[in-house]
């Protein structure tokens, strides 16, 4: 059967033969055995409902084996035989181009070049799933191929609930992931209900089909690292020869060495999974692989002396690096961590003095011991960081729940008030006040033709738009504008593309709208093919996360999730092609609510109207909330927007003098 025929077929008419697991693939960690006997029976019953009764007996035995051995039912047998990658939009069978664009984005998320654990449908973060099993993937692709532009596909945590009548103006797809009742939204709950096959962890952009490979976080990481050095270095001094020490080379964290090179420092990034480190090296995202700690120390000392710009992947545990650098008196200027600590007990963080293989066995066979070792390792990790901080290292939490889990392990990471952490979140200290408050965030686009020349053209269009805006921009955002111009100018030179022909650019509402309008005009003129717009959920108004995206909200509302919910609802009726809302993402299940969108530009007047309406709200919703929280930059930004847009009316806060409050208590 052809690719198109397989898509249109959906689940096969006859039971396919079992498939052997491909060799050399980066397998997902084996999940904990968390279900009772009755719950395991329910999990099998839930899985079998996708298939005809005469297949049940054979599949039941197979699914029991998967559940026992892997902790999840992935249904490997039903993985299609065709290669999964982002084809040209014209390659997909579809009645509406919007559906074809979504199919392209789904396949990009599952491309082995892009995905962390593609066989388990996991894109990044150790558990960021596009679907729970292969039956869901096959059914979803069939639904998308047959839907009209007056239907909407509703996705319940990877499960395609079905096509429902709607309208041309409605989203083609509405996605939810992990949206549990609050009292059943703890990490142990996630393990249980995911194993039952009724929910999944969509991360931020995996389960919303908007992941574009490590590039998706490179720009934000570059901004963060550059400004971290700006905070600590004397004016005029550059990062050359200065160290940025961190860990993690998976899907999102794999961006760190590339960002370090762009920021022009020495990046040392530890990774316990040799396959992940080698994959990033093969893709050109890290310069050098080192496995011996003594070799690493010698190399770094030389690089410091010669003021090199280089990125190093150390295949080993980062705790060892922090401790040995302390003993050798190697000064670390900037430090962080980007392991997947939102899932500390299932492979998101690996304990020191334990090999990767030993740890994976322990996760399944002795989870209690594994948890003890992780907690002990976190305490050692924090202790080593504290020693460096006393020497002057600027350490920031990278929003991966490192400080949160370290505090829960009893590590010395709390401030004197016993409430806050002694180290800031990168959003709290850098991205929040410098970018999000002013409306700058990770806008992204994908050229659906798959043609690199289209990407070159869009880069040039974006550059020209930014240069035009910068000429009249207020001084408050001149640095942000120039950083973005520098970024897009060098984007192709930095070889950021993995998978689809995609780009990311930190832009504000004005920049996003004007760039999108220029794209739509170029499409209408036949200069480029259709373009998908989107963003990371990690943005101005997409995410409510008290220890990351909204960590610089100080009015008490950072523990609420109104902004993210309004964002998704508001985008849905203002023109988004698809919308998504997730529980979890980056910092863990129950710790964050995050939402996103996708929008297809096809060169039509309708697309122009949609982008003007939706992109404006998508950004200014968040600026308004940040302004109401009394954030100075956001207050400036929303007042400026109201002057430019008479139809916008936002409630502004009246500031209270501290002296009045001091008299009261």
Q: Which residues are annotated as a binding site for NAD(+)?
A: 125-126, 203, 271, 398, 586
Q: β-strands 578-583, 173-177: how paired?
A: parallel
* Ramachandran bin of 607, using left for φ above 0, alpha for ψ from -120 to 50, beta for the remaining angles: alpha
Residues 435 and 19: their CA atoms lie apart, in Å, by 48
Return the SS3 of 594.
strand
Residues 279 and 271: their CA atoms lie apart, in Å, by 11
Whether 50 contacts 15, CB under 8 Å: no
* Ramachandran bin of 248, using left for φ above 0, alpha for ψ from -120 to 50, beta for the remaining angles: left
What dihedral angle (degrees, nearest 10) is formed by the CA atoms of 515, 521, 522, 523? 110
Residues 448 and 90: their CA atoms lie apart, in Å, by 9
* Tokens standing for residue 460: 């040039």
Q: β-strands 502-507, 531-535: how paired?
A: unpaired
- Give whole-number Cα distances, 28 to 69, 136, 217, 285, 606, in Å: 12, 18, 22, 22, 42
Q: Which residues share a beta bridge with 442?
A: 506
Q: Please report, in range form, the residues annotated as the binding site.
A: 125-126, 203, 271, 398, 586
Where helices occur in 503-649 by DSSP H, the ranges are 509-524, 562-572, 605-628, 632-644
- Cα(first)–Cα(last) distance of the chain, in Å? 76
Instruction: Please list, in sequence order, all residues whose beta carbon lies within 8 angstroms of the beta carbon of residue 537, skipping any fewer than 6 positions away.
Output: 204, 205, 208, 210, 543, 582, 585, 594, 595, 596
Q: Which residues share a beta bridge with 280?
A: none
- Give whole-number Cα distances, 549 to 63, 224, 229, 622, in Å: 39, 13, 21, 11
Whether 550 contacts 558, CB under 8 Å: yes
- Residue 282 sits at φ, ψ, to 5 deg, of -65, -35
Q: Which helix (H) or strand (E) holds 581?
A: strand 578-583
Q: Closest by alpha carbon to 472, among 463, 461, 485, 481?
A: 481
CB-neighbour burial class of residue 88 (10 A; exposed 0-12, middle 13-18, buried 19+): middle
Return the SS3 of 609.
helix
Q: β-strands 128-129, 122-124: how paired?
A: antiparallel
241-276 as b/e: b if 16+ CB within 10 A: bbbbbbbbbbbbbbbbbbbbbbbbbbbbbbbbbbeb
DSSP letter (8 states) at residue 8: H
- Give one DSSP letter per residue of 399-462, joined into a string: SSSHHHHHHHTT-S-B-TTSSSBSS-BHIIIIIHHHTGGGT-EEEEEEETT--HHHHHHHHHHH
* Tokens standing for residue 192: 């249980």
Radius of gyration of the chain (CA): 24
Residues 221 and 215: their CA atoms lie apart, in Å, by 10
* Tokens standing for residue 133: 């099993």
Q: For tokens 């019953």, what's the residue?
A: 45
């Amino acid at each position: 059967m052809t690719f198109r025929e397989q898509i249109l077929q959906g689940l096969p008419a006859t039971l396919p033969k079992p498939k052997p697991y491909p060799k050399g693939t980066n397998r997902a960690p084996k999940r904990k055995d968390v279900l009772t006997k009755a719950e395991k029976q329910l999990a099998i019953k839930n899985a079998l409902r996708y298939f005809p009764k005469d297949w049940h007996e054979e599949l039941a035995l197979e699914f029991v084996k998967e559940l026992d051995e892997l902790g999840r039912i992935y249904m490997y047998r039903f993985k299609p035989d065709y290669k999964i990658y982002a084809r040209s939009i014209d390659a997909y069978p579809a009645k509406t181009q919007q559906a074809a664009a979504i199919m392209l984005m789904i396949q990009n998320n599952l491309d082995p070049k892009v995905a962390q654990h593609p066989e388990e449908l996991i894109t990044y973060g150790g558990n960021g799933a596009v679907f729970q099993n292969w039956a869901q993937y096959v059914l979803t692709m069939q639904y998308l191929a047959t839907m009209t532009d007056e239907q909407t596909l509703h996705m319940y945590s990877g499960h395609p609930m079905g096509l429902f009548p709607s309208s041309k103006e409605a989203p083609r797809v509405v996605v939810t992931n992990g949206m549990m009742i609050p009292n059943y939204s703890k990490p142990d709950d996630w393990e249980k209900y995911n194993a039952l096959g009724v929910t999944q962890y969509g991360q931020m952009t995996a389960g919303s089909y908007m992941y574009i490979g490590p590039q998706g976080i490179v720009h934000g990481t570059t901004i963060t690292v550059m400004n971290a050095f700006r905070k600590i270095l004397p004016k005029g001094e550059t990062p050359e020869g200065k160290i940025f020490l961190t860990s993690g080379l998976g899907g999102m964290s794999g961006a760190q060495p590339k960002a370090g090179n762009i920021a022009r420092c020495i990046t040392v990034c530890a990774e316990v999974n040799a396959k992940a480190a080698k994959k990033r090296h093969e893709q050109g995202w890290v310069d050098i692989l080192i496995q011996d700690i003594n070799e690493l120390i010698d190399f770094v000392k030389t690089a410091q002396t010669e003021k090199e710009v280089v990125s190093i992947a150390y295949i080993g545990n980062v705790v060892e690096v922090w401790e040995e650098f302390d003993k050798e008196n190697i000064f670390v200027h900037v430090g962080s961590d980007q392991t997947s600590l939102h899932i500390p007990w299932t492979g998101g963080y690996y304990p020191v003095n334990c090999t990767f293989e030993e740890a994976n066995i322990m996760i399944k066979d002795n989870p209690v011991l594994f948890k003890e070792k992780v907690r002990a390792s976190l305490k050692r990790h924090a202790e080593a960081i504290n020693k460096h901080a006393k020497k002057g290292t600027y350490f920031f939490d990278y929003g991966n729940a490192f400080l949160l889990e370290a505090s829960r392990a009893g590590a010395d990471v709390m401030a004197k008030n016993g409430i806050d952490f002694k180290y800031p979140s990168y959003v709290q200290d850098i991205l929040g006040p410098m970018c999000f408050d002013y409306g700058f965030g990770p806008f992204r686009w994908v050229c659906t033709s798959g043609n690199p020349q289209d990407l070159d053209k869009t880069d040039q269009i974006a550059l020209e738009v930014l240069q035009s805006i910068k000429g009249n921009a207020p001084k408050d955002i001149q640095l942000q504008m120039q950083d973005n111009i520098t970024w897009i100018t060098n984007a192709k030179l930095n070889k950021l593309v993995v998978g689809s022909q995609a780009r990311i650019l930190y832009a504000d509402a004005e920049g996003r709208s004007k760039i999108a309008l220029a794209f739509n005009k170029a499409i209408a003129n036949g200069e480029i093919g259709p373009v998908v717009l989107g963003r990371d959920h990690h943005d101005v108004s997409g995410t409510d996360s008290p220890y990351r995206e909204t960590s610089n909200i100080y009015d008490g509302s950072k523990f609420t999730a109104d902004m993210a919910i309004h964002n998704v609802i508001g985008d849905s009726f203002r023109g988004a092609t698809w919308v998504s809302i997730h529980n979890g993402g980056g910092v863990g299940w129950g710790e964050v609510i995050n939402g996103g969108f996708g929008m297809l530009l096809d060169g039509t007047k309708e697309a122009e109207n949609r982008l003007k309406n939706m992109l404006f709200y998508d950004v200014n919703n968040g600026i308004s909330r940040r302004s109401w929280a009394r954030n100075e930059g956001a207050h400036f930004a929303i007042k400026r927007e109201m002057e430019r847009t008479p139809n916008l009316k936002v409630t502004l806060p009246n500031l209270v003098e501290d002296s009045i409050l001091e008299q009261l208590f």
